[in-house]
Amino acid sequence: MMKFSREERNKLIEEIQFFFQEERGEEIGIIAAGKVLDFFKDNLGNTFYNKALDDAKIWFTRRIEDIEIDYDLMYKYK
């Protein structure tokens, strides 16, 4: 289960309130914004987390391939 510190949660709630005001012209309170945050965290959080892991794995795999190529280029043959 994803946990946020009080400061992180408050910042996210402020961002949600700002989004609703700017994009929808709606003013929502702290409780409503908290419920929106909880909905996304509980229902979509794992999907975003897993996608980030997949992207990181691809990035690291490419870096390892680059290191192997660099290593092979440095190897001295007789």
- Ordered per-residue pLDDT tens for the chain, 78 residues: 788 999 999 999 999 999 999 999 999 999 999 999 999 999 998 999 999 999 999 999 989 888 888 887 777 766
Report pLDDT for 78: 61
Contact at 8 Å (CB) between 11 and 39?
Answer: no
Does the global pTM surpass 0.75?
no
Which residues fall within 8 angstroms of residue 28, CB to CB, at 6 or more apart? 16, 17, 20, 36
CA distance 35 to 60: 36
Contact at 8 Å (CB) between 17 and 28?
Answer: yes
Report pLDDT for 30: 97
DSSP state of 27: -
27 closest CA partner among 19, 35, 37: 19
